Each structure stands twice: as C-alpha cells, then as structure tokens.
A and B are shown apart, each in its own frame.
Chain A
C-alpha cells in the first residue's frame, strides 16, 4: 500500500465487549466525551467467555480487519472465572491464525474495567492505528473464480 492508501484505509474492527466491565467502560468513554477513533464496532456479550472462537473466526470471515475481545480484569469477572478461559483461547487462536498467514496482531485481548473509560479510548486508538499499519484483511480479497460452485448437499 502507498502512504496515501494507508492514510485513506479505515479499519473495521469488531469489538466483543463483556456486559459488566468493558461495555460499561466503552459507555463511560462516551459519557466522559473522550475523543477516540470510531473504528470499533462494539458487540455486547454477557462475558468474554461467551466469545466462542467461532465468533472471532466468523468476524474475520465477514471481513473484519481486526477483532478485539475485551473483558473484566482477572478476579472481576461477573461469572468469577469466565475470563480465565478467554485468555487461553485467545492465546491459542492468535497463534493459529498466524499459521494461516493472518498476523496475530489482528486479534487482541484486553481487560477493561467499567471505570476505565480512558483505557477503552486508548485501546481503540492504539488498536486502530496498529490495524491501519497492517492494512486491510486479505480475507476480503479471496476469489475462487471458476473454482466456485454452489453445492446443494454441503
């Protein structure tokens, strides 16, 4: 990408935010009238552990340039230990997508408390710029051409 294209590219980032902390943090960032990049599309989930890896894979397949998973800090999860499993899942999935040629930086995990509106804003800015530097997700450009067929049974 040329410098000009990089500047024009607006990343689309899916942000899975847990209801009890990170979504409230995002809400607070708004309430505090903080200015931050508008590239994150928040999706509210009840707990970061509700973010099945399939959801992340789906977001990438649909063309997300980046995916943020945001949950409560360890010890603060509303369901006590949900985020323990989130940390493990994301660590594995980041390495797995990288093996497929998708930089692991496109998937990010952050713990953001309800009181951390400023952290939400900082993460939104930093992540957006990181993804901007990586450029658009190559998944959007996959074309199968004449290999494509419809198939009634699969």
Chain B
C-alpha cells in the first residue's frame, strides 16, 4: 500500500493537480505529519501509511493517528488559492467531508487519498465506518462500531449518570487536549476560554459547563474519530459524550456529520418552522 500511495502522491504532484499533499512521513521509525511538495522528491521516499517501524513498533502496537484534516485546514487557510491532496483514513475522510459541510474546506480544492485501516486498528478505534469512500485500493467494509459505552450510560438511572459524570469529569485538568486534538474544532476564538461562559483559573474544569459547552459545539460536527479520547491524559470517556451528541442529531434530524451527501448541519439551516417543541 505504501508503494501505491507513493506513486499516487508523486503523480498528483507531477501532473500539477495539487500544490501539496498533507500526509505522513517516517522520521526515526515514527510517522509524523508532513506537507509533500513537487520539488521535495527526497521526502517522498519516506512517505508513510502510519505504521510504526523498527523498535517503536515493538514498544507500541499498531499505528499512529494524527488530525490530518485539522492540519490540512490550517495549511489551506494560509494558502486559500492552492489545491491540496490529503491522505485519509476513514476517520480523516469523515473529517474532511465534515469540514466541507461546515465550509472550512473547499471541495474543489481538495483531493482525497483514502487508505483502508486494518481490522485490528478499526476494532481498537471502535470505528463506525472504517472504509474510506475515496480509497486507493479495494477493501472489504467492516463494521467495528461498538456501542457498549453509550448503552451502558443510557441504561443508568439519571442520578447514577450524574454521579458517574461528576466522578469522571471531576478528573479534568483542563489541558484542552480534547479540543486541540479535535479535527473539527476550527474556531479562532474558543468559548471554553471565555471567562463569562466557562470559569477560568481553576481545576477541575467547571462541571458540567466545560464539557457541555464542548459537547454543544460538536452538534453537527463530531464525526466520531476518537482522537479526543486518545488525547485525554485523564482517561475521561469524553468520546462517549460526543457520540451521544452525534446520535441525538442523527435521531432528530437524520443528519450525520462527515457523510458526503449530508448537506449543512441542522443548526446551519433555519428550516421551515415545522420542527416542533420537543
């Protein structure tokens, strides 16, 4: 797959279809995000699909994920007139589609190189849809979504839920890792740091205001990539909250961010006024 990826990236750059490709490069056995360009042919030799190499592979099982969609957004903002390719796992692809829907990326200026994930990774990520649609190789689609986390909390009585979240969120050290890792968090000014809305200067983060605010902002955005969860140093099951947001929006509006034909988020459209009080 690496060879194929390399060929495809080289081709895109040579033909001038794109000005750069956001992907991963291998550096001392570790994949790191990198912007490949036509004049940088040496770098292309080290392009990576995200697998760890050498000693690191023995230490850490599996692959490393990065918010490539977020990196692409940053690069595209700096160079609004340029076209970019982007290497995408299925989650990255949902991110990119989600960013199209939220008008943060221009679909006419982005070309996706989809890489299917291995079964083990899909399971480890509890991935809702591990097969990217723009995959460069054929792949079986394997559903690995495990809803156990959501179902467990949904089954709790309300006071039990409340106690659960006080215990879990009470560990939050307000590192903002969940926000920083989230590829669909794209605002310039963050409500989480607005002293009038979420109190500053103390930990644990104000509860429930901090996480409710972050969760609210995931309405019509969260694509369930799980990067927030990987980033949280306190092991708080925050992804479950955003999964809930995703399922609420799905149930009420049949809208799933990151699906290509999903259109705009229900909160970005006024609608016809027929949505009842509920």
**Interface of A with B (CB < 8 Å)?**
53-54, 57-58, 60-61, 74-75, 81, 83-85, 87-103, 109-111, 138-139, 142, 144, 147-152, 154
Contact = CB atoms under 8 A, between A and B. Distances in A.
A58 to B, nearest CB: 6
Contacts of B207: 139, 142
Contacts of A92: 219, 245, 248-249, 252
Contacts of A138: 159, 162
B130 to A, nearest CB: 26
Interface string B169-206: 01101111000000000000001000011001111111
B174 A84 contact: no
Interface of B: 153-154, 156, 158-166, 170-171, 173-176, 191, 196-197, 200-209, 211-213, 215-216, 219, 241, 244-245, 248-249, 252-253, 266-267, 270-273, 275-278
Contacts of A57: 197, 208-209, 212-213, 216
Contact of B213 (A54, A139, A149): A54
Nearest to B252: A91
A77 to B, nearest CB: 9
Nearest to A95: B248
A17 to B, nearest CB: 16
Contacts of A110: 277
Given A88-B266, A97-B212, A75 B273 contact: yes
Given A83-B273, A88-B267, 8 more contacts: A54-B197, A61-B206, A61-B208, A87-B277, A91-B275, A100-B211, A148-B202, A154-B176
Nearest to A108: B277
B200 A99 contact: no
A93 B200 CA distance: 23
Nearest to A134: B158
A110 B209 CA distance: 24
A61 B273 CA distance: 30
B166 A142 contact: yes
Contacts of A89: 267
A144 B207 CA distance: 10
B22 to A, nearest CB: 30
Given A96-B245, A102-B158, A54 B208 contact: no
B63 to A, nearest CB: 31
Contact of B158 (A74, A103, A152): A103
Given A57-B216, A92-B252, A87 B275 contact: yes
7 contacts: A84-B275, A88-B267, A97-B212, A99-B244, A101-B162, A154-B175, A154-B205
Contact of A154 (B154, B201, B248, B272): B201
B212 A81 contact: no
A99 B161 contact: yes
Contacts of B275: 84, 87-88, 91
A98 B161 CA distance: 9
B264 to A, nearest CB: 13
Given A100-B208, A101-B164, A148-B203, A58 B271 contact: no
Contacts of B173: 154
Given A89-B267, A92-B219, A93-B216, A149 B203 contact: yes
B202 A102 contact: no
Contacts of B212: 57, 96-97, 100
A54 B216 contact: yes
Contact of B248 (A81, A96, A147, A152): A96
B203 A154 contact: yes
Contact of B161 (A74, A87, A100): A100
A150 B201 contact: yes
A85 B267 contact: yes
Contacts of B209: 57-58, 60-61
